[in-house]
Amino acid sequence: MTTTDYSTAVAHREVTDRNGRVYRIGESDVDIMGRRRMWMVVLPWVGMMGISSAEYAFTSAKDTLHDAHLWSGGHIFWLMGVWVFFQAAVAFPAGQLRESGRLPARTAMLIGAVGTLLGYLSLACAPHVTVACLGFGMCSGTGAGLVYATCVNMVGKWYPERKGGKTGFVNGGFAYGSVPFVFLLTSYMDLGNYQTVLVCVGVGLCLVVAAAGWFFKDPPKNWWPAHVDPLRRTDDPKVRRALEKNPPAVKQYTPEEAARTPVLWMMWFCLLCTAGINIFGIAFQVPFGKDMGFAGGIVATAMSLKAIVNGTGRGVIGWISDRYGRRNTLIIVCIVLGTAQFGVLVSGQMGSMPFFLFCSMVSGFGGGAIFPLFAAMTADYFGENNNATNYGLVYSSKLISGLVGSGMGAVAVGAWDYEGAFVLAGSIGLASAVLALFLKSPGRPKARRIVPNPHPLGEEIA
């Protein structure tokens, strides 16, 4: 059999394992796109950094936006909630369009770049908060969702045999790419220059996302790297360990089939809870720190450390999950995330700056680590072919978590003060760890270690 989808015809064959799963083997990454697949890690990482500031640095501009546009604090927090809503809402339909071939990766990235630009322009020039909701909340959120879904799922397609660390690295760009903008919006931007700063940031990030996305390319369906035989025990200990701890899905689940499994909706709810805690921390750590008497520079530093650890933690946790299993790692992360909320509260009440910075970093680590875990776990459980759509289903929980973490977080703070809100967030995090205990790959009757047979598990198919 020969390929017809690519400019250079390369012989390939398809094999099937004992579960009936098909693997397309024989083509290397260079055969398919003319360069090493590591580019499909680096370029998505750059694209993710380009959209990160809209979520992670936005609240750093709260005071300036309030004074410039006379928007209330509630308006600004709900504005962020609308952005998160649209960023998550686009994941499922974008996944469907991507998997059907109607939305090429390059096109999705270019649309996302334009949305990023419109978001910053609306923050700079919007005459009313409603216009900002349309420009920043809807357009920028939708654009960011397209970029996020495209970048995260691209990695899993190109690294089906060891996706955790690579997915985590790319996902990390969504956090630490915002670090310079936290300081820029907190310490430099003011009423005299805010329009210039926001327009320049929007133009620059638009160009970054567009340039990265221009070189995106998907592999063929069912593709497996030529140097790894999916039906035999590999000699590479790293790949062997990753496949033993996180065995491939028993088949390529369609979205309809995935939606009929209870585990998908358990993952949906677990992500809802943990992502809500993460967004709550992003939205309220800065105002909480200021209310506790910490200087603005200290609070900005805490937020920057949170973003740095949030991003680097995603890469580290992906690597750890390759070694010790996705579910086991998720349980630990939920415990860390929940405990950190109590730490942030206590450190602020104590007025201990070092403890506050430490707890902020731990919270950032836990809040960031959940996303690559769920992205990789979705591919592990349901396969790579429809991962953009299946992960879109799981990720759609952020539709609610964004509104709960930001908007309802403001309600909780108003009703119970920061103490009650942080205690509630911490308790939800610990409860999520209990829920994670029950997650297992569908189609496997027992949650046990799967050791590949050294002999072929299947046969070639035409």
Joined tokens for residue 208: 């970054």
Amino acid at 153: N
Rg, C-alpha atoms of the chain: 22
* Dist. CA 31–CA 162, nearest whole Å: 20
Is the pLDDT at 258 greater than 60, yes or no?
Answer: yes
How many other CB atoms sit within 10 Å of the CB of residue 133? 21
Residues in the chain: 462
Task: Tell the burial category of 331 from Cβ atoms under 10 Å away from its Cβ (0-12, 13-18, 19+).
Answer: middle
* Dist. CA 148–CA 54, nearest whole Å: 12
Is the pLDDT at 54 greater than 70, yes or no?
Answer: yes
* Dist. CA 248–CA 329, nearest whole Å: 17
Is the pLDDT at 44 greater than 70, yes or no?
Answer: yes
pLDDT digits (tens, 9 = 90+) for 417-459: 888 888 888 999 999 999 999 998 898 765 444 344 444 344 4
CB 225 within 8 A of CB 28: yes
The three-state secondary structure class of 35 is: coil
Is the pLDDT at 194 greater than 90, yes or no?
Answer: no
Question: Do the domain assignments include residue 319?
Answer: yes
Give the pLDDT confidence score for residue 360 in this predicted structure.
82
* Dist. CA 145–CA 193, nearest whole Å: 29
* Dist. CA 359–CA 309, nearest whole Å: 11
Question: Do the domain assignments include residue 453?
Answer: no
Question: Do the domain assignments include residue 369?
Answer: yes
Give the pLDDT confidence score for residue 25 in this predicted structure.
85
Q: When comparing pLDDT for 435 and 352, which is higher? A: 435
The three-state secondary structure class of 13 is: strand
Give the pLDDT confidence score for residue 436 in this predicted structure.
94
Residues 323-351, mean pLDDT to the nearest whole number: 90
* Dist. CA 327–CA 239, nearest whole Å: 18
Question: Do the domain assignments include residue 299?
Answer: yes
Integer CA distances (angstroms), 38 to 44, 106, 418, in order: 10, 17, 44
Give the pLDDT confidence score for residue 139 in this predicted structure.
93
Where in the sequence is the domain holding 354, given as residue range(s)? Answer: 21-447
Question: How does DSSP classify residue 60?
Answer: G
The three-state secondary structure class of 55 is: helix
Which of these, 368, 320, 316, 371, lies nearest to 340 by C-alpha position? 368
* Dist. CA 266–CA 397, nearest whole Å: 11
Give the number of domains in the chain. 1
pLDDT digits (tens, 9 = 90+) for 103-161: 999 999 999 999 999 999 998 888 888 888 898 889 999 999 999 989 988 888 898 88
Question: Do the domain assignments include residue 4?
Answer: no
Find all residues with CB under 8 Å of 86, minimum gap 6, and list them: 137, 138, 141, 142, 145
How many other CB atoms sit within 10 Å of the CB of residue 408? 17
Question: Do the domain assignments include residue 452?
Answer: no
CATH code of residue 120? 1.20.1250.20
Amino acid at 30: V
Q: When comparing pLDDT for 266 and 321, which is higher? A: 266
Question: Do the domain assignments include residue 1?
Answer: no
* Dist. CA 199–CA 283, nearest whole Å: 23
Question: Do the domain assignments include residue 140?
Answer: yes
CB 334 within 8 A of CB 317: no
pLDDT digits (tens, 9 = 90+) for 267-318: 999 999 998 888 787 777 767 777 777 766 666 677 667 767 777 778 788 8
Is the pLDDT at 228 greater than 60, yes or no?
Answer: yes
* Dist. CA 435–CA 292, nearest whole Å: 33
Residues 346-360, mean pLDDT to the nearest whole number: 84
* Dist. CA 153–CA 385, nearest whole Å: 10
Is the pLDDT at 10 greater than 70, yes or no?
Answer: no
Residues 6-16, mean pLDDT to the nearest whole number: 67
The three-state secondary structure class of 11 is: strand
Which of these, 175, 145, 443, lies nearest to 309 by C-alpha position? 175
Integer CA distances (angstroms), 26 to 11, 233, 317, in order: 7, 17, 31
The three-state secondary structure class of 166 is: helix
Find all residues with CB under 8 Å of 73, minimum gap 6, and list them: 62, 66, 287, 410
Give the pLDDT confidence score for residue 300 in this predicted structure.
67
CB 11 within 8 A of CB 226: no
* Dist. CA 116–CA 142, nearest whole Å: 9
Which of these, 27, 444, 10, lies nearest to 246 by C-alpha position? 444
Question: How does DSSP classify residue 5?
Answer: S
Q: When comparing pLDDT for 57 and 458, which is higher? A: 57
Integer CA distances (angstroms), 362 to 34, 161, 339, 373, 415, in order: 41, 30, 9, 17, 26
Task: Tell the burial category of 143 from Cβ atoms under 10 Å away from its Cβ (0-12, 13-18, 19+).
Answer: buried
